[in-house]
């Protein structure tokens, strides 16, 4: 038995030369005993015929929003409710743009707007069209709204161009659909708060002290928790990142603001993760006016910021399970374990940030410590590291109960 057995799948086909590959994809679905309904856009019907798709899928093919016969058999809202998942094979640039702005000007776009089922998109288009900033913006917007993607791949295109835009192979799309159903939503009911990014400490109205944190690690952790069904609050310093789907984001600037928001959220959540690179010090007296370049030297007096995570971990009531990070350039393990004890944490993720590693980069490796154990997570994309971090936090959290 496969995970797709008896699953109700709408295969949406939009206009593009890759439409012919949808036939093989439908064949794979039928082989695994999924129920398949095919919906064509008018442009797709120029590339593949409804008759072929009817024979392969075993069901009548729908292609018009205004077809009384088809509406009588299964109306578009009924179809949208019937589906366990919708897969768009191929998803053209035009269709992605229409989906982004929420248009309902053909049957397939209407079903996508009317469904609560997850939607998997297999984009296919000319490499230049794919590279256009407007297409990339559409992809980001859809991804932020929870749409899933498979591909596109890089390679030779029907037009003779080389590059990204070639649709994934039917087997890859099939594997992504399996993943979509396999993905565990085992954290429903769990509430998590994560701090991410840097803080900025004002010197005067135009200058500040900060650090190189991009927020990537913290945002990836927020996304990984959210994908498993947790309720996620993300307290973020100033970063240039899109908010992951279904995550509640609170923007702050300074350590004091982050401290205030973190303590408020900590007592309302079960898990607190401090991934932010919080400035340890702020300027004692922020100048009201821009400091003029009048002398060769100036002295700034700094005062210690509150230690956010230590304050959370020392809460007397409603203390959440508390996880810190330790960014170190030497004696990594020793300093991290010292912070685990001193700040009263349940777990700490030790980060070797020497030689320009980690800050702002797409990859990371971590050494996780808790009171009676530890594990090394080898170098990988931050998104993959985040999935592992989330798994270990969840395991320890459950053990602590
Ligand atoms: O954002 P990226 O570019 O993806 O980079 C990721 C990262 C390097 C920022 C991240 O992986 C990381 O290591 N974050 C912690 C950075 C840090 O400030 O480490 P620290 O060793 O100085 O602080 C230890 C812990 O105390 C951290 O959990 C920190 O959030 C917390 N802290 C520190 C100071 C302070 N005033 N309040 C705090 O809560």
Q: Encode the chain (401 residues) as per-residue pLDDT tens digits.
A: 788 999 999 999 999 999 999 999 999 999 999 999 999 999 999 999 999 999 999 999 988 777 776 666 667 888 999 999 999 999 999 999 999 999 999 999 999 999 989 999 999 999 999 999 999 999 989 987 889 899 898 888 888 888 889 999 999 999 999 988 887 778 989 999 999 999 999 999 999 999 999 999 999 999 899 888 899 999 999 999 888 878 899 999 999 999 999 999 999 999 999 999 999 999 999 999 999 999 999 999 999 999 999 999 999 999 999 999 999 999 999 999 999 999 999 999 999 999 999 999 989 999 999 998 999 999 988 988 999 999 999 999 999 98
Q: Is residue 290 part of a domain?
A: no
**Is 3 within a domain?**
no
Contacts of 369 (CB under 8 A, 6+ apart): 333, 336, 337, 340, 347, 348, 350
How far is it, in rounded angstroms, from Cα 92 to Cα 199?
Answer: 41
Q: Could you say which of 181, 202, 228 is where a domain stops?
A: 181
* 13/154 same-domain check: yes
R_g (Cα) of the chain, nearest Å = 25
**2 domain-assigned:** no
Q: Do 173 and 127 sit in the same domain of this protein?
A: yes
Residues 351 and 220 in one domain: yes
Domains contained in the chain, number: 2
Q: Looking at the domain assignment, is residue 14 inside a domain?
A: yes
How do strand 271-274 and strand 191-196 relate by DSSP bridges? parallel
Residue 341: inside a domain, yes or no?
Answer: yes
Q: Is residue 134 part of a domain?
A: yes
Domain boundary (181, 212, 234) is at 181
Q: Which residues contact 97 (CB under 8 A, 6 or more apart)?
A: 134, 135, 138
**Is residue 291 in some structural domain?**
no
Residue with tokens 């810190």: 324
Same domain flag for 238 and 257: yes
Supply the CATH number for residue 241's domain. Answer: 3.40.50.10300
* 349 tagged catalytic: no
CA geometry: angle at 58 spanning 103 and 114, to 5°? 20
Q: Are residues 262 and 359 in the same domain?
A: yes
Q: State whether residue 387 is helix, strand or coil.
A: helix
Give the pocket of ligand 1 (CB within 6 Å). 195, 197, 213-217, 255, 274-278, 280, 305, 307-309, 324-327, 339, 351, 353, 358-360
Note down the domain range covering 237.
191-285+297-400
Spatial distance between the Cα atoms of 372 and 390, rounded to a whole number of angstroms: 18
Q: Is 315 exposed, middle or buried (0-12, 13-18, 19+ CB in 10 A)?
A: middle
Q: How far, in Å, from the CA of 196 to the mean position of ligand 1?
A: 8
CA distance 50 to 55: 9
- Cis? peptide before 145, omega within 30° of 0: no
Same domain, residue pair 87 and 224: no
Same domain (yes/no): 197, 336: yes
Domain at 105, CATH number: 3.40.50.1950
Based on the domain organization, do 159 and 257 belong to the same domain?
no
Q: Is residue 339 part of a domain?
A: yes
Last residue of a domain, one of 125, 153, 181: 181
CA of residue 351 to ligand 1 center, whole Å:
9
């Amino acid at each position: 038995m496969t995970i797709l057995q008896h699953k109700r799948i709408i295969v949406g086909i939009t206009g593009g030369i890759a439409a012919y590959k949808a036939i093989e994809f439908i064949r794979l679905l039928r082989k695994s005993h999924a129920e398949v309904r095919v919906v064509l856009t008018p442009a797709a019907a120029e590339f593949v015929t409804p008759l072929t798709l009817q024979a392969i899928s075993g069901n009548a093919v729908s292609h018009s929003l205004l077809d009384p016969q088809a509406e009588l058999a299964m109306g578009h809202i009924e179809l949208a409710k019937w589906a366990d998942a919708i897969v768009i094979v191929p998803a053209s640039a035009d269709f992605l743009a229409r989906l982004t702005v929420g248009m309902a000007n053909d049957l397939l776009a209407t079903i996508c707007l009317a469904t609560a089922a997850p939607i998997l998109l297999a984009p296919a288009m000319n490499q230049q069209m794919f590279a256009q900033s407007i297409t990339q913006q559409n992809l980001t917007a859809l991804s932020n709204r929870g749409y899933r993607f498979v591909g596109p791949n890089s390679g030779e295109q029907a037009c003779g161009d080389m590059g990204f835009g070639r649709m994934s192979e039917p087997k890859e799309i099939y594997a992504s659909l399996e993943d979509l159903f396999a993905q565990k939503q085992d954290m429903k009911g769990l509430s998590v708060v994560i701090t991410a990014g840097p803080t900025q400490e004002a010197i005067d109205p135009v200058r500040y002290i900060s650090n190189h944190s991009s927020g990537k690690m913290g945002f990836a952790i927020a996304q990984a928790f959210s994908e498993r069904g947790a309720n996620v609050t993300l307290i973020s310093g100033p970063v240039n990142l899109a908010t992951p789907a279904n995550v509640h984001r609170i923007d702050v600037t300074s350590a004091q603001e982050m401290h205030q928001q973190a303590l408020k959220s900590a007592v309302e959540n079960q898990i607190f993760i401090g991934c932010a690179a919080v400035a340890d010090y702020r300027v004692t007296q922020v100048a009201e006016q821009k400091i003029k370049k009048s002398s060769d030297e100036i002295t700034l007096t700094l005062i210690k910021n509150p230690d956010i995570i230590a304050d959370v971990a020392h809460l007397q009531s409603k203390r959440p399970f508390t996880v810190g990070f330790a960014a170190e350039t030497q004696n990594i393990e020793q300093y991290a374990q010292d912070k685990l004890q001193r700040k009263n944490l349940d777990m700490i993720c030790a980060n070797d940030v020497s030689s320009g590693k980690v800050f702002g980069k797409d990859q990371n490796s971590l050494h996780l410590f808790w009171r009676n154990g530890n594990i090394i997570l080898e170098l990988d994309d931050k998104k993959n590291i985040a999935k592992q971090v989330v798994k270990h936090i969840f395991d320890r959290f459950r053990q602590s109960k």
